[in-house]
Chains A and B, each alone.
Chain A
Amino acid sequence: MIIIVILSLIPIVIWSLMLPLSIRFYDLTSITTSIGQILGLVGIVLFSINLILAGRLKILDKYFKGLDKVYAYHSQIGTISFSMILFHPVFLVIRFLTISTQEAIMFFVPFISPSVTLGIFSLALMMVLISITFYIKMKYNYWKLSHKFMTVAFALGVMHVFLISSDISRNNVLRIYILTLALTGLFFSVRRAFLSKALISKSIYKIEKVRLLNENITEIEMSLVKEKITFNAGQFIFVSFKYDGLGESHPFSISSGEDEENLKLVVKDLGDYTRRLKGLPIGVKVEIEGPFGGFSYKNSKNKDQIWVAGGIGITPFLSMAKTLNEDYKINFYYCVRNRNEAALIDDLIKIADKNINFKVNLWCSGEENKGFINAEMISNSCGGITDKDIFLCGPKVFMESLNEQFISQGVEKNKIYYENFNFI
């Protein structure tokens, strides 16, 4: 995070060294022009960084302790950089507005100057794509396809940056700096969005078994064909099934243990795509990229832990429970609406029978008017929470609420680990 801030401050420093600030901030028009320039510079830097963040890189996964956190930053930085780029022309046009509105309109009319035209088209495309991302609910694969075109909008923007006569064209250092960042961003996003088949190596597995655990939860078991996935229990993978329109890659937590020979996923029906996974025939090829994620009980030095799963958030814990040895003392809370939803409770009870230090508590919020689980109940039932590390995985509201409660009960923030499994 600090690196991102530094990277975006560097161009401002170069820019401010190019001319005395008294000239940059001389009067209203020069101040607004300067702000417009800064917005443009920082906007393009943040956009470049954001494309790198979206590159699904192992090194970022490691550095941010989980790709889900990387994507959370991606969404924030994307919004900030878009807003900056949006207001870049607004501040630049003010100096024309002081002359006449006609002059100002000319500034926004395309096809007058090629470099400005590129900027206008880039911004217009970004506005359309951002609106799709934030305001229109659409199927995941359509959304993903539309989001890929951000790369195109960015490429137009980069051409605008380097064709227009500006401080970037006047200063070599600034030009090389921006060019390096922009091309790096472009490289990773083109690699990810358009050339992932050719450039990114993937493991191949095939479907071994598809087991219905209840009416809307399915376990998919896969056996190795090429390049075994070696993972830490709790991590997730991107999976693409080579079968009838299910080829779009989706993230899933691994639910098998580290030592199991086959790879298992547990999938809940949440939409068209997941509903169709039930019908996967045996033998279908599966392309897997990963593993990713920093959500693992092994990342915590404290071996006295509380695990809390909400609904299908059970999947990473399942893998962790299967891998666990008796050195760890785990109080596990599995929260569901009713017993029927707790499709995996039998597996967990089997593990608990063998491991005396693994305690399973099933919490059905919809039965006996129990209501949602809260931090106080957890604390009371496991003998205090402040000496333990806490792992959360479940729906966003579920995790946010519990996270807040734990902190207000005196648990340190860095002792709470969480996984945003539905991060995109």
Chain B
Amino acid sequence: MKKSLTASLIIFGVFMVYIFGAGLIDNLVGHKSVNSNQILNQNIVTNISPSLTLNMAEISKHNRQTDCWLLINGKVYDITSYFGSHPGGSGVMAATCGTDATNAYMTQDPYASSTGNRSAHSSKAQSLLTEYYLGDLNKL
């Protein structure tokens, strides 16, 4: 028991040293990657041609994890770059790519089908979401 405990603690220690060490080196090198999300996001926004209309047909084309748009409360979001950061896992978001995800978002359930007590996303999630805002449905 003591041996496996020691092993666990050592692995944990190495992992923490790795994370903090790598973070420190990143900082020293001056590579600021904190805003990578936003940078990516901005690129995508600017890449959209002005003549494009944000309708359901257009949204449904972006139905993959590597290119994922969704509709929440009449607003269109490109959450491609957010994959990997979602606390509920990537899978749940992937299920909603290219669809109206309003119900899924409000209930934290990709199929909005469960009978259990499900709650809306937090205000923090709401503010995160605005970073991925593309435009309103049927406008632009």
Q: Which residues of A pack against B, CB within 8 Å?
A: 18-19, 22-27, 29-30, 33-34, 75-76, 79, 82-83, 86-87, 90, 93, 95-105, 108, 127, 130-131, 134, 165-166, 169-173
Residues of B within 8 A of A99 (CB): 33, 36-37, 84-85
Q: Determine if B92 and A100 form an interchain contact, defined as CB atoms under 8 angstroms apart.
A: no
Q: Cα distance A227–B41 when bound, in Å?
A: 75
Contact digits for B96-107, partner A, Cβ 8 Å, 1 yes 0 no: 000000000000
- Using A18-B116, A90-B12, A165-B122 as known contacts, say yes or no to A23 and B26 having CB atoms under 8 A apart: no
Which of B17-25, B43-51, B54-62, B132-140 participates in binding chain A? B17-25
Q: Is the interface of A mostly helix, strand, loop or mixed?
A: helix
Known: A19-B110, A26-B94, A90-B15. 17 other contacts (CB 8 A): A23-B92, A25-B91, A29-B84, A29-B90, A79-B1, A79-B2, A79-B5, A86-B8, A99-B84, A100-B33, A100-B34, A100-B36, A104-B23, A127-B9, A134-B5, A165-B87, A171-B116
Q: Determine if B26 and A103 form an interchain contact, defined as CB atoms under 8 angstroms apart.
A: no
Q: Determine if A134 and B2 form an interchain contact, defined as CB atoms under 8 angstroms apart.
A: yes
Residues of A within 8 A of B15 (CB): 90
B112 at interface (Cβ–Cβ under 8 A)?
no
Q: Cα distance A292–B9 when bound, in Å?
A: 34
Closest to A169 in B: B119
- Using A23-B91, A95-B85 as known contacts, say yes or no to A76 and B1 having CB atoms under 8 A apart: yes
Q: Determine if B19 and A86 form an interchain contact, defined as CB atoms under 8 angstroms apart.
A: no
Nearest chain B CB to A40 CB, angstrom units: 12
Q: Determine if A24 and B12 form an interchain contact, defined as CB atoms under 8 angstroms apart.
A: no
Interchain pairs with CB closer than 8 A, number: 116
Q: Which listed residue (A19, A27, A34, A134) contacts B65, Cβ 8 A? A: A27
Give 14 CB contacts A-B under 8 Å.
A19-B91, A23-B91, A23-B110, A27-B94, A29-B84, A30-B92, A83-B4, A96-B84, A100-B33, A100-B34, A105-B23, A131-B9, A134-B5, A165-B87
Q: Cα distance A97–B20 when bound, in Å?
A: 11
Residues of B within 8 A of A171 (CB): 116-117
Nearest chain A CB to B5 CB, angstrom units: 5
Nearest chain B CB to A160 CB, angstrom units: 14
Residues of B within 8 A of A103 (CB): 34, 85
Q: Which residues of B pack against A, CB within 8 Å?
A: 1-2, 4-6, 8-9, 11-12, 15-16, 19-20, 22-23, 26-27, 33-34, 36-37, 65, 83-92, 94-95, 108-110, 114, 116-119, 122
Q: Which listed residue (A90, A96, A165, A170) contacts B116, Cβ 8 A? A: A170
Nearest chain A CB to B112 CB, angstrom units: 12
Q: Determine if B1 and A96 form an interchain contact, defined as CB atoms under 8 angstroms apart.
A: no
Q: Determine if A87 and B34 form an interchain contact, defined as CB atoms under 8 angstroms apart.
A: no
Residues of A within 8 A of B88 (CB): 33
Closest to B90 in A: A30
Residues of A within 8 A of B90 (CB): 26-27, 29-30, 33, 95
Q: Cα distance A127–B1 when bound, in Å?
A: 15
Q: Determine if A83 and B8 form an interchain contact, defined as CB atoms under 8 angstroms apart.
A: yes
Q: Determine if A33 and B89 form an interchain contact, defined as CB atoms under 8 angstroms apart.
A: yes
Give the one of B19, B33, B85, B109 with max A CB within 10 A.
Answer: B19
Nearest chain A CB to B107 CB, angstrom units: 9
Residues of A within 8 A of B19 (CB): 93, 97, 101, 104-105, 108
Residues of B within 8 A of A82 (CB): 5, 8
Nearest chain A CB to B48 CB, angstrom units: 23
